[in-house]
Structure 1
Amino acid sequence: MTPGSSAAGSGVVVPRNFRLLEELERGEKGIGDGTVSYGMDDADDIYMRSWTGTIIGPHNFMSSCINLFSYLKTVHEGRIYQLKLFCDKDYPEKPPSVRFHSRINLTCVNHETGVVM
């Protein structure tokens, strides 16, 4: 989900639910290469607070080293990470809280709870 912003730089603030509806449409269509997707937990939640997301770890990438090309593997390659997002009433001014359900080894994620710090 993207941070809050004004519409077309005009200083007009987009209402919270309009912004969340835009986010929902983007999440359901998939972002970029389809390795990130998200949607609502409960379609009947009119406040659009609780979301579920999925991230598929990135594939190998090429690196040049002394004119040799080699594939570098990431530790997240091919792994599927499930997470929960919660948008409180202050979204988009305040970013959503995020918690990984899948175990992930990142310094910004609490290893006990999965909460992104």
Structure 2
Amino acid sequence: MSKVPRNFRLLEELEKGEKGLGPESCSYGLADSDDITMTNWNGTILGPPHSNHENRIYSVSIECGPNYPDEPPKIKFVSKVNVPCVDSTTGEVKSSVFHTLRDWKRAYTMETLLLDLRKEMATPANKKLPQPKEGATF
């Protein structure tokens, strides 16, 4: 079975993201529409309900390197968040801690990544953690 080339895969993700065909709890798109390499993306995660994240919108930057989707993208929170899998000084999601990055599969997408981060925020261990002031950024 042949593998879908990186650019085709990213075009599929871009189309889905731009048309809003994914869940309402997250969104993503190119950071610069002129980026022909489709490397740098912006994403948002709506804070899960019944948690200290509720009614917050978290911004992230996503970098899909040349080996994406065979290798996971780098993802970094722009909005400050207090979750153990996020470095408290840089906002980078730690691939050694966050299961989706650590156990990355080619079938995963940016949407998978954003939804799994949202689920991580909603876990019993993380949903009541005190959060930085709304609007604070890294």
The answer to whether the superposition gives a TM-score over 0.5 is yes
Q: State, as a whole percentage, how many aligned pairs show the same letter.
A: 52
What are the ranges of 5 or more consecutive residues in structure 1 without an aligned counterpart? 1-10, 60-72
Return the structure number with greater relative CO, CA threshold 8 A, min gap 6: 2
- Supply the distance in 1 between the matched residues of 2:18 and 2:85 (Cα, whole angstroms): 26
Give the SS at the match of 2:79: coil
> Is residue 107 from structure 1 mapped to residue 97 from structure 2 by the alignment?
no
Amino acid of the structure 2 residue aligned with 1:49: T
Give the SS at the match of 2:9: helix
Kindly report the root-mean-square deviation, in angstroms, between the aligned alpha carbons of the 2 structures.
0.9
Aligned 1:9-88 pairs, distance under 5 A: 11-30=1-20, 31-32=22-23, 34-59=24-49, 73-88=50-65
Structure number with the higher helix fraction is 2
How many residue pairs get matched? 93
> Is residue 96 from structure 1 mapped to residue 89 from structure 2 by the alignment?
no
Deviation at 1:29, TM superposition (A): 2.7
Which contiguous aligned blocks of 4+ residues in structure 1 show a shift greater than 2 angstroms? none
- Supply the distance in 1 between the matched residues of 2:19 and 2:55 (Cα, whole angstroms): 20
Structure number with the higher strand fraction is 1
